Amino acid sequence: MKARRVVITGLGLVTPLGLGVDSNWQALLAGRSAISQITRFDPAGFPTRIAGEIRNFDVQQFIDRKEARKMDLFVQYAIAAAELAVQDSGIDTALLQGERTGVYVGSGIGGIGSIEETHRVLLEKGPDRVSPFFIIQTIINEAPGHISIRYRASGPNLANATACSTGAHAIGEAFRMIQLGLADRMIAGGAEAPITPLSLAGFCNMKALSERNDEPEKASRPFDARRDGFVMSEGAGIVLLEELDSALKRGARIYAEVLGYGLNGDAYHVTAPSPDGDGAARVMMMALRDGRVNPEDVQYINAHGTSTQYNDKTETLAVKKVFGERAKKVGVSSTKSMTGHLLGAAGGVETAITALAIFHQVMPPTVNYEFPDPECDLDYVPNVARPAEIIHALTNSFGFGGTNACLLLKKFT
């Protein structure tokens, strides 16, 4: 059977930059950083006291407050992003009902906030005070579960947890479901709400986070020589994928076509990337081969670009392996410089951003790029957004455990 074509028709973004497509895209074009001092709890005593928090999130815009109390924040973000994607797509929600629509939404960590709070209740008040909703607050598959119930979408339903590759893997696997004829529409992406004392302490003690507390807006600086770690953020990125003929039939706006998907493992280390960039290079080549596109036909890469020493160096090596002498002619930007690192939600957010870059023919910048690193010597679209012809674009997501994902998107014609 001939593989069916898959397009992106709806984008749902819940990030520290704002809610929805317009607020996020305008902030990205302006090069605005969303990183600030942590207000969710008192971070005094932590070596890192900054993060990408979502401020003024009104859950009642999307969920009844009584029902929301039964959900961890990551589930609330997932539902909000799914609703924004559906609204953005303009689809009649009646079309989402039934077994031809599925939901693939994952999270790297899941309900850690609810776990921490419930453990406190257990220790202070005893086991009989633990909420009967505790389990369904925290397990990762409650995100796609709630979304599928909301739209009565009874097709393929999956929650994955592949660290920082989660959102991209969810979209890639959803792409396969439509491509193979197992669904006509998929709601897919990732959600994360990791800004808690325990999570912050864990990442701090791994020495993974930036400690640029006095200049939070400059802390996330991918590929810059003075980068000192990533900045943890929260939110969700969800897209609506549709089979092409179905999308055309209803007159949908098409942001981009999904052409290829790669996934693999470094098989090297539980946290560090392969030092020669092998896994990252192979996963990009997998996505290109899957989409039958040559490296010379790619104009833009939305990089994983975490602002850590090892990731940025090895991703640069990987791009050079794939693109050879042409590597320096490809625009490579990390929008984590503005959003921070949304962990399991990053791939969903960055797939949406890549689709917007193609749709608007603009490469978003890598902000805070001030001090060139001789080991990171590509065109990182420094500090200012750049109008450019973008026909094909890759978006990379790499996670702890050595798990990698790459999606290949194309301008729809």
Cα angle 52-57-59, degrees, rounded to a multiple of 5: 140
- Write down the number of H helices and E strands in the chain: 13, 15
Q: Which of 146, 169, 341, 392 is catalytic?
A: 341
- Annotation marks residue 119 as catalytic: no
Closest CA to 12 of 107, 105, 106, 85: 85
φ/ψ of 396, rounded to 5, equals: -105, 145
- Annotation marks residue 341 as catalytic: yes
Q: Which of 146, 169, 204, 304 is catalytic?
A: 304
Q: Give 347's DSSP letter.
A: H
The gap between the terminal CA atoms of the chain, to the nearest Å, is 23
- The torsion of the CA quartet 354, 358, 361, 363, rounded to 10 degrees, works out to 20
Closest CA to 8 of 285, 408, 346: 408
Residues with Cβ < 8 Å from 73, sequence gap 6 or more? 111, 113, 193, 234
Q: How far apart are CA 223 and CA 24, in angstroms?
A: 22
3-state secondary structure of 332: strand
Q: Which of 164, 204, 376, 406 is catalytic?
A: 164
- Annotation marks residue 392 as catalytic: no
Q: Annotate 128-161 with DSSP letters as a single string.
A: GGS-TTHHHHH-TTHHHHHHHHHHTB-S-EE---
Catalytic sites, residue numbers: 164, 304, 341
